[in-house]
Structure 1
Amino acid sequence: MIYEHLGARPRIHDTAVVAPSAVISGDVTIGENCQVLHGAVITAEGGPITLGEHVIVMENALIRATAANPVHIGDHVLVGPMASISGATIAEEVFLATGTRIFNGAVIGERSEVRINAVVHLRTTLPPETVVPIGWVAVGDPVRILSPERHEEIWEAQHELDFPGYVFGVDRSTPDLMVQLTERYARSLARHLEDHAL
């Protein structure tokens, strides 16, 4: 389904194919010969999303932009099933495998691979041709690529990146952090009440 959101309508190239059960919402540009498969959601939540040419977005993948973090995906990128991209820049010829998670402000360099269930954290930059192994976590700039059992090192880097402050504008030390975060985020998401199916 195609939706107008915040007054913006998706622009889909005539050669692109979007499955009937995919959702495309808002300021989204889908380039030549792209394929968006069943269950995929591409939603521009106040910031634009641009897919270059020959981008494949597989089943149940999620691509979300925010006002602070637009999404740009270069040519010849494959976004695997159940992958998630939030407010990131993906260069050309990148492979994002099944279940990968790419967070706000991340930059993925050309010909990089983020393998099954791997994570590229908030404001992390992967240089060109970087590989993040299955289930591992890439964090920081300069990047550190760590196995999941190295939680303390991952948390140390994550803490400095300030996820609640950067993404939601809420200080982590706020006593009612989740109350503030969910109420603020819910108000933002409620803007979908005015969406129109096209």
Structure 2
Amino acid sequence: MHDPRFPGATILPFGGKTPRIHVSAFIAPGARLIGDVEVGPDASVWYNCVLRGDINRIVVGARSNVQDGTVIHVEGPRPENSVPTDGLPTLIGEDCLIGHSAILHGCVLEDRAFVGMDATAMDGARVGSGAMLGAGALLSPGKAIPPGEVWIGRPAKLLRAQGPEQEAKIAFQCQRYVELARRHKAAILGTAEG
């Protein structure tokens, strides 16, 4: 389905649900949003991302960015009760950074969480507020990174606590992506800001 606000992006209804995208959000050409997907104010979904909310919901909070090539999916209920009866949505808080080619599947990112490039967070995993899942890391099903910690490796394990300097870098990068998204949106739509 073509949405004139997001030329080149695929925005598809599924199962009676249509993606809900805030007017200030940026959805890049080549991105695909399907079904029960919500994108908040000043959030951005970059080139060639797939957000497939077909059997549960996906939420991308305000000012969060989903960088190029990332795949986000969900988990529905299973007969063996290995997941909650309502399944596992993927919930991304506010001011989160999600690096290029990440995979998020039925997990939660609390506000100001950072997921590095090519990292994976699996069913029931949680990245706490201000925490970081390092580049290439794998957060196993049901594992939780406490707020303010940095985890790396496959499977991911604690490396160290986040410091104020790293938290400031994440805040800076998040704001930079908000501004960069506005510039890309303007360039694509042919307005003066590009």
If the length of structure 1 is used for normalisation, what is the TM-score? Answer: 0.68
Aligned in 2, Cα 1:125/1:36: closer, same or farther, shift over 3 Å? same
Provide runs of 4+ in structure 1 moved above 4 Å: none
1:136, 1:86 → 2: CA distance? 16
Which of 67, 70, 73 is 2:89 aligned to? 70
* Kept after mapping to 2: 8 A contact 1:136/1:146: no
Mapped to 2, the partners of 1:136 and 1:47 lie a distance apart of 27
Question: Where does 1:115-194 land on structure 2 (aligned, <5 Å)?
Answer: 115-133=134-152, 135-138=153-156, 145=157
CA distance in 1 between counterparts of 2:154 and 2:88 reads 24
- What is the Cα deviation at residue 107 of structure 1? 1.2
> Aligned residue for 2:54?
45
The alpha carbon displacement at 1:51 in A equals: 1.0
Counterpart in 2 of 1:20?
Answer: 29
Contact persistence 1:45–1:66 (CA under 8 A): no
* Structure 2 residue aligned with 1:104: 123
What is the percentage of aligned positions where both structures have the same residue?
27
Per-residue CA distance 1:127-158 (angstroms, 9 max, x = gap): 1011112x3423xxxxxx279xxxxxxxxxxx
Q: Give the whole-Å Cα distance in 1 for the aligned partners of 2:158 and 2:128.
A: 18
1:157-179 superposed Cα distances (whole Å, 9 cap, x missing partner): xxxxxxxxxxxxxxxxxxxxxxx
> Cα gap change, 1:137/1:88 in structure 2, threshold over 3 Å: closer, same or farther?
same
Post-superposition shift, 1:66?
A: 2.1
1:91 aligns with 2:126: no
Q: Which amino acid aligns with 1:137?
A: P
Is the 8 Å Cα contact of residues 149 and 158 (structure 2) preserved in structure 1?
A: no
Q: SS state of the match for residue 56, structure 2?
A: coil
Given that 1:9 and 1:26 are in contact with CA atoms closer than 8 Å, whether structure 2 keeps it comes out as yes
Shift of 1:96: 0.6
Task: Indicate if the aligned counterparts of 1:41 and 1:60 stay in contact, CA closer than 8 A.
Answer: yes
CA RMSD of aligned residues (A): 1.4
Partners in 2 of 1:116 and 1:107 — Cα distance? 16
Distance 1:66 1:10 in 2: 17
How many residue pairs match? The answer is 140
2:60 and 2:67 mapped to 1: Cα distance?
Answer: 13
Alpha carbons 2:150, 2:158 under 8 Å: kept: no
Gaps spanning 5+ residues in structure 1: where? 139-144, 148-198
- Give ranges in structure 2 of 5+ residues lacking alignment: 1-9, 77-86, 160-194
Q: Which residue of 2 aligns with 1:4?
A: 13
Q: Which has the higher helix share?
A: 1
Alignment check: 8 A CA contact 1:120 1:137 kept: yes
State the AA in 2 paired with 1:54. Answer: R
